Structure 1
Amino acid sequence: MDEREALARLSASLPAAGDDCAVVGDRVLTTDMLHETTDFPAGVDRYTAGWRAVAASLSDVAAMGAAAEAAVAAYGAPRFDPDEVDEFVRGAREVCERVDAEYVGGDLDRHDEFTVATTALGRTDDPVLRSGARPGDAVCVTGTFGRSAAALRAFADGDADRGNALFRFTPRVAAGVALRPYATAMMDSSDGLARSLHQLAGASGDDGGVGFDIAGASVPVDDAVAERFDDPDGRREAALFFGEDFELVFTVPSDAVEDARAASPTSVTAIGSVTESGVRIDGDPLPDRGYDHGSGDGEDDDGTRDGKSDD
C-alpha cells in the first residue's frame, strides 16, 4: 500500500482521522515522522533538521486554525554527537518561539538512520476541517510554492547554505488563526498543491466531493524557483507537484476573500473557485500527483523528484 491507501484503510476503524490534526476537546494533536533518506538530503544541518521536523507538525496545527502551544520530538540516530543534538534542539526551540509555542522535550534513541518523530499540540474551540468547501467558494493559498523544490536543487548543486535557508520555513500558525473565521475548509500543502487540492475536494461536499477550477497563472511561485529551474516545465512541476512547502490551502465564501486577505499576516492569493466536480487547471484536468510519504524513496508517483537524486 502507498500512504493514501494505508490511510483509507485505517479510516474504517478510526473515524475521527482524516484532518491535519486529531481534535480532542479544545485541543488539536498531530504527529509526524521524517527520515534522513527521504526527508533530509545531504547538506541539511542538524539545526535545520530540528527546525523543519518540528515545523512540519506545527504546520498541521496551523491548518486547523489553532494556536500552537507545544511540541516534542523523538530523535533517533546511529550516534549522539553532542554538537548535533544541541543544534537540533536549538532549531526545534527557535521554530516554536517563532509561532509562540514551547518546545518541551522528547526522547533519544539509537537508530540505523537519522530519524525524527515530532508531535505538536494546539488549542481552538472551533477547528477548521477539510470538509466544508462548497460550490461557489473561492480557493485560496498562503505564501508561495516551489520553495522546497528549489532547496533540493540547491543541495544538489552543492549550495548547502542556500538549501538550509530555504528548508527553514515558518509554519503558518498566525495565518491559520486569522483565517479561521473565514475559511470553510483548510489543510496544509505538505503533499504538494495539486494533491492537496484533490484531497480537499474529496473531503468536502457530499459523498462525491466537490471540484476546483484553478487558474494556473494565479498560483504564486516562490522567487527561489527561478534561481534553480531554467525551463517553464520545471518551474510548473516545482510549484504544483513537488510538495513540502507547508502553505495553507483553503476555501472561503467568494464575498469574504478580501476580508480574509486583510486579516492574514501572510499573503493570501485567490487561485480559483469551488465547482461541483473535477479538479482542473486552466480547463484541463489537474493530475492527482505529489509527494508520497509511503513510497519508501521520497519520490513522486512517476518515480522522479527534481533536484534530488535517487538513494
Structure 2
Amino acid sequence: MEREIIDIAKRIFKFEEEDAGFFKFGDAYIVIANDMLSRSFDFPSKLLPKQIGWKAVTASVSDLAAMGAKPIYFSYSLGLSREEISFVEDLMKGIREALDFYGMKFLSGDTNESTELVLDSVAVGIARNLLLRSNAKVGDAVCVTGDLGRAYCSLLYLLEKVEEIEEKILEKFLKPVARVDEGLKLANIANSAIDVSDGLSKELNLLANSSGVMIKVFEDRIPIREEVLEFCTSNNLNPIEVALNSGEEYELLFTVSKDKLEDLDFEFSIIGEVSKGEGVFLVGKEKKPLLPAGWEHFSSK
C-alpha cells in the first residue's frame, strides 16, 4: 500500500522520486527531507526519549546525505498523548544533541495532541552537486558504506524476540549516525546514491528501477560484522537475509565508475555491478532475482 500511495502522489504532484525534494537556488540546490515516525511502528518501547529524538533527526539527515547535501536547518511536528508529556524534555534534548552533532540549527516546531507519539522531522540542506538515485550508469560498481544487519538484530532484541545481544550490535540501532561526510564526498565522484533506511534489497530495487538498469549483487561481498554472524548462528538466522532486509541502517548505497573508486577516501564495500537490463539479481551459488523486502508501511513487514 505504501508503494501505491507514493505512485498516486507522483501522478498528482508530478515529481521524480528521490531521497529528498530539491530546487535550484543560485549556483546551489536547497534540499528538503522529511520523515514521519510513530510509536507503533518506529519506536520500540525500550527506546529512551533521548534516543527517539536523536533517531528522528538522523532519519532525515540521512536522506540529505544520500543527495550529497550538507544539513543546515531542522524543524518538527510533534504529536503526543497526555501520558507522554513527562518525557518531552528528554526527547527535545535528544533532538538538540543530534543537531549539535550534525552542525544544524533549529528553525521551528509544532505540537498537537495525539493518540500516540508521532514525530515528523524536516531537515533542510544545501548541495553544490546533487546525487540522484536515477543516475546509475552501466558499468558502475555498486557499493555500500559501513556494515549491514545490526539494526535488524537489534530490533529482534528490543521486541523481545531474542534474549541476548552484544552491545556492539545494539549501539547502531540506539544511536545511528547518518553518513554526511561520505555523502558530500560522493557528490563529486559517484553517479547515484540512496540511503539504506528500509533494507538493502528494497533500496537496490529502487535504484535499479529509477535508473532503468540491472544490478547484480554478490552474496559474499555484502559487509556483515562478525558479531552479526555469531548472533545469526545463535538464533538460527540467515545472515545474508538479515543484511538484505535490515532497515534503519542509514548507510549509503551508491554506484560509481570503476575508474573513480580510488578517489574515495573512506571505508566502503564493492558489492556488485550495474549492467544493461532490468531488475536486481543476487549471485551466490546460483543467480536468482532479488525482490524488494525490508520494511514497508501498511504491510506489517
Is the shorter-chain TM-score for this pair beyond 0.5, marking a shared fold?
yes
Q: Which residue of 2 aligns with 1:303?
A: none
Match of 1:111 in 2: 114
Higher strand share goes to which structure?
A: 2
Question: What is the CA-CA distance between 1:82 and the residue it aligns to?
Answer: 5.7
In structure 2, do the counterparts of structure 1 residues 291 and 81 end up closer, same or farther at CA, with 3 Å as the change threshold? closer
Name which of 171, 192, 199 aligns with 1:192. Answer: 199
Contact 2:72 2:124 in 1 (8 A): yes
Q: Which residue of 1 aligns with 2:52?
A: 49
Q: 2: distance between equivalents of 1:81 and 1:233?
A: 36
Aligned to 1:292: 296
Q: Using a 3 Å threshold, how does the CA distance of structure 1 residues 167 and 115 change in structure 2: closer, same or farther?
A: same
- 1:15 maps to a residue whose letter is K
- Give the paired residue count: 288
User: What CA distance in whole angstroms lies between the structure 1 residues aligned with 2:172 and 2:273?
Assistant: 33
Question: Of 166, 173, 176, which aligns to 1:169?
Answer: 176
Which of 95-104 and 144-153 deviates more? Answer: 95-104
How far apart are the structure 2 equivalents of 1:245 and 1:14?
A: 29
Q: Is the 8 A contact 2:166 2:227 kept in 1?
A: no
Q: Which residue of the partner structure matches residue 302 of structure 1?
A: none
Task: Please give the alpha-carbon distance, in whole angstroms, between the structure 1 residues aligned to 2:230 and 2:74.
Answer: 34
Q: Which runs of 5+ in 2 are unaligned?
A: none
For residue 123 of structure 1, report the CA deviation from its aligned partner: 0.2
SS at match of 1:229: helix
Contact kept? 2:38, 2:118, Cα under 8 Å? yes
Is the aligned partner of 1:127 residue 2:130? yes
Find the residue that maps to 1:13 and give its secondary structure.
helix
Report the Cα offset of residue 83 of structure 1: 5.0
Gap change, CA 1:159 and 1:117, over 3 Å in 2: farther
Residue deviations 1:100-138 (CA, integer Å, cap 9, x gap): 222344122111011111100000132111111111010
TM-score w.r.t. structure 1 length?
Answer: 0.86
Runs of at least 5 residues in structure 1 that lack an aligned partner in the other structure:
300-311
Matches of residues 17-166 of structure 1 in structure 2 within 5 Å? 17-25=16-24, 26-79=29-82, 81=84, 84-155=87-158, 156=160, 157=162, 162=167, 163=170, 166=173
Q: Partner residue of 2:239?
A: 235
Say which is worse superposed, 44-53 or 232-241, in terms of deviation: 232-241
Alpha-carbon RMSD across the aligned residues, in angstroms, is 2.1
Matched residue of 1:19: which SS?
Answer: coil
Q: How much does 1:257 deviate?
A: 1.2
Deviation at 1:272, TM superposition (A): 0.8
1:188 Cα deviation after fit:
0.6
Deviation at 1:194, TM superposition (A): 0.6
Percentage identity across paired residues of the two chains: 32
Could you tell me how far apart the structure 1 residues matched to 2:194 and 2:227 are?
24
